[in-house]
Amino acid sequence: MKIAVLPGDGIGPEIVAQAVKVLKALASDGLKVELEQAHIGGAGYDAAGDPLPDATMKLAQDSDAVLLGAVGGWQYDTLPRPMRPEQGLLRIRKGMGVFANLRPALLYPELASASTLKPEVVSGLDIMIVRELTGDIYFGQPRGIQVNDKGEREGINTMRYCESEIRRIAKVGYEIAMKRSRKLCSVDKANVLETTELWREIVTGMNKDYPEVELSHMYVDNAAMQLVRAPKQFDVMITGNIFGDILSDEASMLTGSIGMLPSASLDANNKGLYEPSHGSAPDIAGKDIANPLATILSVAMMLRYTFNNEEAAGRIENAVKNVLAQGYRTADIYTEGTRKASCSEMGAAVVAAL
């Protein structure tokens, strides 16, 4: 198995280094992995004048999976749009065709107090958000800023989904629902947007292929409310790219510890791009205090979804639970009475617990 490792910017290199330690520990136990590093984001721009250098895209295409740290930093904020770090991320997603973004929002019992919500509202929270990642208003044409017929500048972006795009993401949602509680909530704005009216129609039609799945529909504004009111009503949620961007961030914050949350982005053959749900946190970069667990848990998702190695995935997840039970905490999840660990200490603790 060949894995492309793209540390990126900010805390990316430090957290990815810990995840690589975990992969190497599993390799010394017999897991066959080959790792190769490349630049992305601001690091790509610095090294090769492009947030997604050709060599990086080629490596991603030649690999079975990609592990990504994070992209972005204030020093790149004034670059022209095509050179900005996020563009590297958007282009690698599109280039790899990883249309299914799985973002779990899981509350670890040991970290329950970190949530801003009352314990009874969030205890046991375990939501899987399935976000479409290569379509929608993110990529739709026409787009841009132009002068309209009144002589004013006007910005335009196009929300766009065709049947096959909706069908393939809905299939992922249904399959995941089948492996979990068989409850699927599809989120749209079908009362206003025709694009999502089509979405609703197709998701509904596919229910006959998954008769055991209990399908519901919710408008996006209501979903944003219900996530605050009673998040445990949800199990698997499926939605488009822009609504998924907003709702998955909201849902992850319900746990209070986004430093813990991994993500997977899969193509039709389960080849995938794996990254923590959080960002590049330039303010704490280079200080060895970031939380590497989201990245380490992204490796577990990689083993599960791309390499079909449930055993190794479970080993990592158990090791993480173990270090939490032992009291290890990075600064972002530290509370009195626990053991403050640096980023590298946390990585070492996970390796020890494997």
Ligand X SMILES: CC(C)[C@H](C(=O)O)[C@@H](O)C(=O)O
d(CA 211, CA 208): 5
Residue 287 annotated as lining a ligand binding site:
yes
Strand (E) or helix (H) holding 294? helix 293-305
> Using the rule CB under 6 A, is 89 a contact of ligand X?
yes
The least CB distance from residue 129 to ligand X, in Å, is: 11
Assess whether 54 carries a catalytic annotation: no
d(CA 264, CA 247): 16
Using alpha carbons, select from 180, 186, 179, 222 the residue that is nearest to residue 205: 186
Residue 283 annotated as lining a ligand binding site:
yes
Using alpha carbons, select from 336, 223, 275 the residue that is nearest to residue 12: 275
3 state DSSP class of 290: coil
Candidate residues 90, 121, 246, 354; the one interacting with ligand X per rule CB under 6 A:
90
Tokens of 273: 């791009």
Contact 187, 233 (CB under 8 A): no
The least CB distance from residue 351 to a copy of itself, in Å, is: 31
The least CB distance from residue 85 to a copy of itself, in Å, is: 9
Residue 286 annotated as lining a ligand binding site:
yes
Give how many residues touch a copy of itself by CB under 8 A: 62
> Using the rule CB under 8 A, is 186 a contact of a copy of itself?
no
Residue 281 annotated as lining a ligand binding site:
yes
The least CB distance from residue 156 to ligand X, in Å, is: 18
Using alpha carbons, select from 190, 180, 182, 129 the residue that is nearest to residue 159: 190
> Using the rule CB under 6 A, is 191 a contact of ligand X?
yes
Give how many residues touch ligand X by CB under 6 A: 7
> Using the rule CB under 6 A, is 246 a contact of ligand X?
no
Sign of the torsion formed by the C-alpha atoms of 59, 65, 67 and 68: positive
86 versus 235: smaller Cβ distance to ligand X: 86
C-beta atoms surrounding 339 within 10 Å: 12
Assess whether 235 carries a catalytic annotation: no
The least CB distance from residue 222 to ligand X, in Å, is: 8
Contact 295, 7 (CB under 8 A): no
> Using the rule CB under 8 A, is 81 a contact of a copy of itself?
yes
Q: Indicate which of a copy of itself, ligand X, none lies near residue 344 (CB less than 5 to 8 Å, by partner kind).
A: none
Assess whether 62 carries a catalytic annotation: no
Backbone angles phi, psi at 281, to 5 degrees: 40, 60
3 state DSSP class of 187: strand
Using alpha carbons, select from 216, 224, 239 the residue that is nearest to residue 170: 239
Q: x/- site string to a copy of itself, residues 212 to 231, per CB under 8 A?
A: --------xxx-xxxxxxx-
> Using the rule CB under 8 A, is 208 a contact of a copy of itself?
no
d(CA 66, CA 216): 33
Catalytic pick among 45, 138, 161, 305:
138
Sites of contact with ligand X (CB under 6 A): 86, 89-90, 191-192, 221, 245
Sites of contact with a copy of itself (CB under 8 A): 81, 84, 86, 90, 116-118, 121, 137-138, 140, 143-145, 148, 150, 152-164, 189, 191-199, 220-222, 224-230, 242-243, 245-250, 252-254, 256, 258
